[in-house]
Amino acid sequence: MEWAWLIPVFSFAAVPLIILFGKYLPGKGSPLAILAIAGGFALFCFVFIGWLGASPDTEGCSTSDYTGTLTCEYERTWFQAGLPGLSSDVDERIHLNWGILIDPLTLVMLGLITFVALMVQVYSLGYMHGDSRFSWYYAFHALFIAAMLTLALADNFLLLYVAWELVGLCSYLLIGFWFERPAAREAAKKAFIVTRIGDVGLLIGILLIWREVGSFSMTAAFEAVHSGVISQGMATVVALLLFAGAAGKSAQFPLHVWLPDAMEGPTPVSALIHAATMVAAGVYLVARVYPIFEASGDALMVVAVIGLITSLGAATIALVSTDLKRILAFSTISHLGLMMLSLGAFGYTAAIFHLLAHGFSKALLFLGAGSVMHSTDELDIRKMGGLRKVMPLTALLFSIGALSLGGIPILAGFWSKDEILVAVNDHLPPVFIVLTLLTAFLSALYMARAMFAVFFGELRPEHEHVHDAPPTMAITMFLLGILALGFGLISLDWPGPYDGIGTFLFFEEPEAFHFTVWLGVLSTVLAVIAFVLGYLIYARKTISIESIRGRLSWPVSLAENKYYIDELYQFVIDRVVLTLAAFIGFFDRAVVNDVAVNGPANLVRHLGVTLRLHVTGHVYSYALAMTLGAIVLALVWWMQSAS
Amino acid sequence: MTPLVYFQLLSAALFVIGLYGVMARRSAVLIIMSIELMLNAVNINLIAAASHLEGIGGFVNFDGQIIAIFVITIAAAELGLAIAIILRMHRNRGTVDVDEMNLMKW
């Protein structure tokens, strides 16, 4: 298990190799990246087995006082800073460690990242085939995976922050991968800047922890929260700052605006980074530092409210979007909001379980959308229909993903969403459960819309001769489809030693899978109604879209314009930020530059210009000056001696 | 005994003539000669003052004479140097007019 740090190292090592030698390698270096992540996945399996066999007696392992789970931590000194103290018994140097922390949360994240990444990389072989920057694509991909794995493994905030920024960089590079397109460039910049706003909060939060605890170690921070070194008020401040970073990465309101635009990147990138892994990093972060949030209490309420607003708002936008990838993007935002809501409702297990179920399902959906796009070059769902006749495999797998996210029983999304509903029902006021059920209903409805509008109904003549996905793409979708289909079953209490995910991945207390009958039935009924409604509206067209639109014109246009949040930001930037910037720029030019910097220089130059005039070159003027000087000196002497 | 003030008037007149020469002449040679006038004015002043220091008549203090001899010596050395510089000036520029010597003016 102490070799788990090698998991990201494989991919890190692959990056320079692909960049330098990609041109000469077979497959332009792509096998190297796939091999690296496959090695990571294999090593993850070994680590997982090792962890299962570990006990609190194993070296480096103990049952954590703060999370209640078996936690194994291995760390080394990263570097030391400062001079040793004057007295030899006190070492005043700053010791910074880097290390790995393995607990169930890390393990599930590692599993999700390595598996989805492997699938997406194999899929990309087909999808990116013939791209002019094929090697670069795999290099960025490998770098992203390495950074993301480091993020999941990190046992201290500093390493986490480094990895956090690295995934942000890779996200920027991959969104703007087709930088010939202006939209891709703009989207990349937007993603980078918006997430950076949250990252500032994260950095300040980490520095606050350093100030309070004197260490970047997560365990030390939890200890400080537990023992009261960090007061409850301070814990709230820190938790909210960390949540700002999480909200930026996980596209939570009001920092969600970058994720829909990020769909300008290649679709496999959207599947890996903007659906399954990187955007889940925010949820992971909140779960990772859950003891701080729990100590605060108020911060959890903020998380829940933000999560609810995000999930409900994004679900309504997803319902009216016409671009297939954007529907999926808003669906991602909505489900990330659900995970945050669940964390805010003490549904730790439910949130992480939903993270996994959503990761697999959404990656599948994106790969399916990519397959559609690859074959038809079309993303507008209004221009698609009946594709199941020409792309049966993609249609089947996409439908599995859609049904899973929509919450149809037996599929993965049903179980995780149900867990969230139970947590929300148990711990939050009734208004939350009502709105969450509404979100769940909308979630099923927009998934039904995407699925039926694309794959059912009339086949368009221009799509009659398109082909289904090539083998590399089909196989990966198939494997993800199996997971989307059956993954939820791991939550159940099976006969035998396995007692459900709640006994493996939990916070403080192991919990059995709890299934509240009325909630399960209600959510199932809602999901089924939504899918039937979707079928009638978008496949059979029994209910006219125009009539609904006519009756709900005002809310629909509000949602279609994404609640004008982009416009609001643009307005604020134009009017407030740019005005302020113009003023500061003016201040810089007029005061800092002209007065403070150029002022003394100009003064000296003018003095020089004026004073050099006395050097006339005429001997008589020098003689006159000497004479006058002598007379003045004589006068001074005379007056002094007279007095 | 001639009153001291006559010597001082002579000395002042010589000095002012020398000063006028330094400022008004353009030939370097004439300037040097004017400087010599000023130096000699100072010498007269010194010796006269020394001879009138203690009462009227015989010298009791030779400071003035000693300084005058120093001035003459240094003036001779200075003159040698000045003549050498003026010769170089004439050789290089073909003139000894000091108004032409303005190469180092700004």
CA–CA distance, A532 with A535 (Å, rounded to integer): 5
What DSSP state is assigned to residue A255? S
* CA distance linking residue A368 with residue A373, whole number of Å: 9
Whether residue A268 has a cis bond before it, omega within 30° of 0: no
- Point out the residue among A615, A620, A623 whose CB comes nearest to the CB of B105: A615
Cβ-defined contact of A616 to B105 (cutoff 8 Å): yes
As to burial, measured by CB atoms within 10 angstroms (0-12 exposed, 13-18 middle, 19+ buried), residue A563 is middle
Res A204: pLDDT: 93
* 3 state DSSP class of A196: helix
List pLDDT tens digits, range A57-87.
878 888 887 888 888 888 888 887 776 666 5
Residue A165 — very low, low, confident or very high, per pLDDT cuts 50/70/90?
Answer: very high
Candidate from A615, A620, A624 with C-beta closest to B106: A615
Specify the residue for token string 């000296």. Answer: A604
Q: Residue A38 pLDDT more than 80?
A: yes
* Cβ distance of A619 and B24 shorter than 8 Å: no
pLDDT at residue A90, as a whole number: 61
Out of B23, B24, B106, the one facing A612 most closely (by C-beta) is B106
Mean pLDDT in residue range A557-565: 81
Q: Which residues of chain B have a CB within 8 Å of the CB of A612?
A: 106
| Mutate which: B30, B96, B98, vs A, most A CBs within 10 A | B98
* pLDDT tens digits, A382-404: 888 778 888 888 888 888 888 88
Q: Which one, of A337, A376, A339, A340, lies nearest residue A354 by Cα? A: A339
Contact flag A623-B106 (C-beta cutoff 8 Å): no
Q: Is the pLDDT of residue A409 over 90?
A: no
Provide, as residue numbers in chain A, all residues whose Cβ is less than 8 Å from the Cβ of B105: 615-617
Residue A307 neighbours by CB under 8 Å, 6+ apart? A252, A336, A337, A338, A339, A340, A341, A342, A343, A344
Cβ atoms B19, A615 nearer than 8 A: no
Query: CB-based contact (8 Å) between B91 and chain A?
Result: no
Strand A61-63 relative to strand A70-81, pairing: antiparallel
How is residue A29 written in tokens? 């270096």
pLDDT at residue number A84: 65
Q: Is the torsion defined by CA of A405, A406, A407, A411 positive or negative?
A: negative
CATH number of B4-93: 1.10.287.3510
Q: For B27, name the nearest residue in chain A, comparing CA atoms only.
A: A619
Judge contact between A582 and B72, C-beta under 8 A.
no
CB contact at 8 A, A128 and A472: no
Whether A618 has its CB under 8 Å from any CB of chain B: the answer is yes
Whether chain A has a CB inside 8 Å of the CB on B104: the answer is yes
Confidence (pLDDT) at A243: 92
pLDDT tens-digit profile of A309-327? 999 989 988 888 888 888 8
Give Cα separations from A542 to A20, A532, A534, B68 (angstroms).
Answer: 58, 11, 10, 131
Whole-number pLDDT of residue A202: 92
d(CA A402, CA A447): 5
Residue B99 and residue A619: Cβ atoms within 8 Å? yes
The answer on pLDDT for A18 being more than 90 is: no
Q: Are A535 and A452 in contact (CB under 8 A)?
A: yes
Determine contact: A607 vs chain B, CB below 8 A: no
B17 touches chain A (CB under 8 A): no
- Write the pLDDT tens digit of every residue in A514-536: 677 888 888 888 889 888 888 88
Phi, psi for residue A99 in degrees, rounded to 5? -165, 180
pLDDT band at A632 (very low <50, low <70, confident <90, very high): very high
pLDDT of residue A640: 92
β partners of residue A72: A61, A102
User: Could you read off the pLDDT of B5-31 as tens digits, one per residue?
Assistant: 999 999 999 999 999 998 888 888 999
- Nearest in space to A245 (alpha carbons), one of A207, A189, A291, A301: A207
- Range with the largest mean pLDDT of A105-109, A415-419, A614-618: A105-109
Query: What residues does A100 pair with on adjacent strands?
Result: A74, A154
Beta bridge partners of A71: A62
Compute the nearest-CA separation of A606 from chain B (Å).
Answer: 14
pLDDT averages per 10-residue partition of chain B, 106 residues: 87 93 88 92 90 64 86 93 92 86 71
Is the pLDDT reported for residue A586 higher than 90?
yes
Give the ipTM: 0.79
CA dihedral in degrees (A448, A453, A454, A458; nearest 10)? 140
The CA distance from B5 to the nearest CA of chain A, in Å, is: 19
Query: Which residues fall within 8 angstroms of residue A455, CB to CB, at 6 or more apart?
Result: A386, A387, A388, A391, A394, A395, A398, A399
**Which chain B residue has the Cα nearest residue A617?**
B102
Give A304-344 as a DSSP string. Answer: HHHHHHHHHHHHHHHHH--BHHHHHHHHHHHHHHHHHHHHH
Work out the mean pLDDT of chain A and round it to a whole number. 86
Q: What are φ and ψ of residue A156, in 5° steps?
A: -140, 160
Backbone angles phi, psi at A102, to 5 degrees: -115, 110
Q: Which residue has the higher pLDDT, A64 or A338?
A: A338
Written as six digits, the tokens of A56 are 């609190």
Domain boundaries, chain B: 4-93
pLDDT tens digits along A246-280: 999 988 888 888 888 888 888 888 888 888 888 88
| Binary contact (B99, A618; C-beta < 8 A) | yes
Q: Which chain B residues are Cβ-neighbours of A623 within 8 angstroms?
A: 19, 22-23
The answer to whether B98 contacts chain A (CB < 8 Å) is: yes
Instruction: Point out the residue among B23, B101, B106 whose CB comes nearest to the CB of A620.
Output: B23
Q: For position A91, what pLDDT does the model report? A: 64
| Residues sharing a CB contact under 8 Å with residue A389, sequence separation 6 or more, in sequence order | A459
